[in-house]
């Protein structure tokens, strides 16, 4: 029987290619509850895990367009309807400068959507994570490439997972307390 307070089993690899191979093997063997950690973005890692996400670019674009429309609408309302005031003989609806402001604020919105979307998608800020309980995990921000196999809800044979990681030549194999 496994310990109910166990989050998963962690193994370290020296090289990103070994990490990618191990993930492919584990997925072939039917493990789906995998997490991988690397100190820099490794090409193809999220594809290997099957967790691509594409919505951020679309969200930024939509945010930018909506903000542009809202800005233009606000300026048009204030300059034409609510506070009509002729300056320098220019028409009330002076669209070139209005477009400029709509463009600038659209960029502002896209920047904020990208930053906030990245943080929210990644569930950050979140200061605690079970992996931080393992001392060796500090190498994930230095030179270590890690795989974490999360345990299923039903009791699982931890020894079997350890052996499997060992077969894949993982180092520092450790149980991660929840």
Binding site for other proteins (CB under 8 A): 16, 35-42, 45-46, 48-49, 51-54, 56-57, 60, 74-75, 78-79, 82-83, 85, 87-88, 90, 94, 97-98, 100-101, 103-105, 107-108, 110-112, 114-115, 117-119, 121-122, 124-129, 131-132, 138-143
16 in Cβ contact with 118 (< 8 Å): no
Smallest distance, other proteins to C-beta of residue 118, A:
4
Smallest distance, other proteins to C-beta of residue 3, A:
22
Return phi, psi of residue 145, to 5°.
-115, 115
For 136, other C-beta atoms within 10 Å of its C-beta total: 16
164 in Cβ contact with 29 (< 8 Å): yes
The rounded radius of gyration (Å) of the Cα atoms in the chain is 25
Total length of the chain: 178
Residue closer to other proteins (CB basis): 2 or 94: 94
Return phi, psi of residue 62, to 5°.
-65, -45
Residue closer to other proteins (CB basis): 30 or 40: 40
Smallest distance, other proteins to C-beta of residue 92, A:
10
Smallest distance, other proteins to C-beta of residue 155, A:
26
Smallest distance, other proteins to C-beta of residue 159, A:
25
Residue 107: how many CA atoms within 13 Å on its side-chain side? Answer: 5
Residue closer to other proteins (CB basis): 2 or 117: 117
What residues pair up with 175 in beta bridges, in sequence order? 9
Residue closer to other proteins (CB basis): 29 or 127: 127
Residue closer to other proteins (CB basis): 50 or 155: 50
Two tokens at 2? 């496994």
């Amino acid at each position: 029987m496994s310990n109910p307070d166990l989050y998963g089993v962690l193994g370290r690899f020296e090289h990103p290619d070994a990490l990618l191979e191990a993930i492919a093997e584990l997925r072939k063997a039917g493990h789906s509850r995998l997490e991988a950690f690397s100190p820099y973005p490794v090409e193809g890692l999220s594809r290997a895990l099957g967790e691509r996400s594409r919505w951020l670019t679309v969200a930024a674009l939509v945010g930018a367009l909506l903000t542009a429309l809202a800005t233009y609408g606000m300026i048009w309302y204030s300059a034409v309807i609510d506070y009509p005031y002729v300056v320098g003989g220019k028409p009330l609806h002076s669209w070139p400068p209005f477009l400029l402001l709509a463009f600038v604020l659209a960029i502002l919105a896209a920047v904020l959507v990208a930053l906030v979307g990245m943080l929210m998608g990644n569930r950050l800020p979140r200061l605690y994570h079970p992996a931080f309980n393992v001392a060796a995990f500090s190498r994930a921000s230095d030179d270590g490439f890690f795989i974490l196999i999360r345990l299923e809800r039903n009791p699982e044979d931890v020894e079997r997972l350890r052996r499997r990681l060992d077969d894949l030549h993982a180092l520092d194999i450790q149980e991660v307390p929840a």
